[in-house]
Structure 1
Amino acid sequence: NFTKNLELVARIDELARAKKCTPSQLALAWVLAQGEDIVPIPGTKRVRYLEENAAAAAVTLSAAEREAIDAAFPKGAMNR
């Protein structure tokens, strides 16, 4: 459902703006926060995106922020 997916994208943009980071950085920070045994492996062809991705390591998410992301994007949310 394209409309529903656009709403989810708007929500991630809103959460990223609140953290003063890009949506990609927020997504990578969320993956990093999932546990010591979880490592994101983002791909990129441009140095600027490599730098942006690396900067995600400096984005820290509180428990409340992780919960907000989890609530906005429950498992399978993008499949609906």
Structure 2
Amino acid sequence: IVPIPGTKRRTHLAENMAAVDIELSAADVTRIGAAVKPDAVSGTRYPEKQLGGLGI
């Protein structure tokens, strides 16, 4: 898991950067993998109105 900071405040940036120090065990990774299936996509990426503007 890689944090992707999108923040306006230094305190939030510090929190995001601290995430690199978190170590996940094999059991943690297994539990996360079971909860988040990569092929279980639901819905569209953009609302219908925006799709027209994208030419999709």
* Band of TM-score, shorter chain: 0.5 to 0.7
Q: Kindly tell me: are residues 53 and 78 of structure 1, through their superposed partners in 2, closer, same or farther at Cα, counting changes over 3 Å?
A: farther
Q: Kindly tell me: are residues 75 and 58 of structure 1, through their superposed partners in 2, closer, same or farther at Cα, counting changes over 3 Å?
A: same
Q: Kindly tell me: are residues 47 and 77 of structure 1, through their superposed partners in 2, closer, same or farther at Cα, counting changes over 3 Å?
A: farther
Identify unmatched segments of 5+ residues in structure 2.
44-56
For residues 6 and 39 of structure 2, the distance between their equivalents in structure 1, rounded to whole angstroms, comes to: 23
In terms of fraction of residues, the more helix-rich structure is 1
- For normalisation by structure 2, the TM-score amounts to 0.60
| More contact order relative to length (CA 8 Å, sep ≥ 6) | 1
State the 4+ residue runs in structure 1 displaced beyond 6 angstroms: none
Identify unmatched segments of 5+ residues in structure 1.
1-30, 33-39
How many residues are aligned here? 43
For residues 50 and 78 of structure 1, the distance between their equivalents in structure 2, rounded to whole angstroms, comes to: 29
Displacement, 1:75? 1.2
Identity %: 47
